[in-house]
Amino acid sequence: MSLILDGNGAITGLTSTGISASQTVGAGAINSTNAFGYSGAVVKVSTYTNSTRYAVSTSSNYTVYTFPITKIYGSGVSNWIITAAYSVGGNSNDGNYGFISVDGNNQYTGMQLGRANSTGADTPCFGGGSQVWTGLSAGSHTIGLGWKPADGSSNYPVLVFHTNSSDGSRNQQGGATWIIYEVLV
């Protein structure tokens, strides 16, 4: 089945017994406003997955990994909605929130690192978040995941990103899934 967003952000090409054709166009149509809480058509969806295990640094300002994504439209034409979900293991210090960075600029809102009631990396938990990024030019950008404590201390939130069986024999390989929506403003 192919779903296509028309120029007004309405989904076309949908055939389902759960949604009638009249619900996919016109007033009350499913579109980016009522599906994402954001106005404008979704013009590109990019995904990134990573299942590499990272034993993290005890540095107070640390980027775990980065990856490139290309944006179609420039500032004022489109924005990015970035969502991430990832596995982490162990917890050294509460109160350290992660960040998503674009081209080295960190944004902390909307991010959470899950807490394990353990100081070892053998207890997997989760992290994730969602952010809106505005003012980005068209072209290639580097997205990153990391943390920086607000108090400038050497605290770090977790011991391992993307735990696996080397952290605990019952663990499957953990990982991350990122979805980047480019949405017209």
The predicted model scores a pTM of 0.70
Burial class (CB in 10 A: 0-12, 13-18, 19+), 154: exposed
Determine the Cα angle at 130 with ends 127 and 135, to 5°: 135
Domain boundaries defined on the chain: 1-30, 40-184
161, 64 contact by CB (below 8 A): yes
Per-residue model confidence (pLDDT) at position 74: 95
Beta strands in 11-77 (DSSP E): 11-12, 42-50, 54-55, 62-71
Region 40-184: CATH code: 2.60.120.1340
Give the tens place of pLDDT for each residue, 47-103: 999 988 888 777 777 888 999 999 999 999 999 999 988 877 665 555 556 788 999
Give residue for tokens 């050294």.
92
